[in-house]
Amino acid sequence: MLLELNNIFKWVNQGGKRIFLLSDINLKIDEGEFISIMGPSGSGKSTLLNVIGMLDGFQEGEYNFMGESVHTMKEKNRSKLYKEYIGFVFQAYHLIDELTVYENIETPLLYKDINSSERKALVADMLDRFNIVGKKDLFPSQLSGGQQQLVGVARALITKPKLILADEPTGNLNSKQSEEIMQLFKELNQEGVTIIQATHSETNAAYGSRVLHLLDGRRDFN
């Protein structure tokens, strides 16, 4: 088992009232799964992904990731953990505008203190695999949306994460580009990478092995 959420509650206080963003979420995910989270807008998909990705906290409940209990962990160790095992892909790509394609892909390796020759080799492999060697010196603004997301995925993969979290990865792409990315996710999943994506699209959700429905911050089993 890769991770496990038990009775997770997350809320914010607004005007003296508690507004629940997540309530009583229970979830077990095994290594190698490809999970799609679906639900109407505002149902808490992104919130849940952020909790799983350890970017955001929660008020109640337990979260175990690879046998370690995240909810008791210090901030520092938590970021160590996600840095090691989790890659993120965003709807808005979120590439660093000031860096080239090559440098964007390389950045996570820098934060893991990997030496330069190894970095070169890893980045070269990745460029090769995604067929973007010719674009390596371009800046994000010089790429199409699909290409940018390709770089985003490449960057998420460069550290060989066990888990990829993708929040509407194809939200800004046309259907052909979407299909490419989804195909890519499928391949990665087949290679053993666990993937959790939030999506509005039934088609995209169909790539996954399991679909998880949310409604108003709760799991919806209907």
Ligand X SMILES: Nc1ncnc2c1ncn2[C@@H]1O[C@H](COP(=O)(O)OP(=O)(O)OP(=O)(O)O)[C@@H](O)[C@H]1O
Q: If binding is defined by CB under 8 A, does position 88 make contact with other proteins?
A: yes
Nearest approach in angstroms of CB 191 to other proteins is: 21
Instruction: Return the residue matching tokens 């066990």.
Output: 162
Gap between the Cα atoms of 128 and 130, Å rounded: 6
Nearest approach in angstroms of CB 101 to other proteins is: 14
Tell me 142's DSSP state: G
Q: If binding is defined by CB under 8 A, does position 74 make contact with other proteins?
A: no
Q: Kind of pairing, strands 60-65 and 68-69?
A: antiparallel
Judged by CB under 8 A, the residue of 99, 124, 138, 215 near other proteins is 99
Nearest approach in angstroms of CB 170 to ligand X is: 13
Query: Residue 47 or residue 104: which is nearer to ligand X going by CB?
Result: 47
- Out of ligand X, other proteins, Mg ion, none, what residue 29 binds, judged by CB under 5 to 8 A for its kind, is none
Q: If binding is defined by CB under 8 A, does position 92 make contact with other proteins?
A: yes
Burial of 25 (0-12, 13-18, 19+ CB in 10 A): buried
Nearest approach in angstroms of CB 92 to other proteins is: 8
Cβ(166)–Cβ(198) below 8 Å: yes
Gap between the Cα atoms of 103 and 112, Å rounded: 14
Nearest approach in angstroms of CB 133 to other proteins is: 21
Q: If binding is defined by CB under 5 A, does position 23 make contact with Mg ion?
A: no
Judged by CB under 5 A, the residue of 23, 46, 59, 79 near Mg ion is 46
The span of 3-11, 86-94, 175-183, 209-217 binding other proteins (CB under 8 A) equals: 86-94
CA dihedral of 97, 102, 105, 110, whole degrees rounded to 10: -100
**Which of 24, 26, 47 is CA-nearest to residue 165?**
47
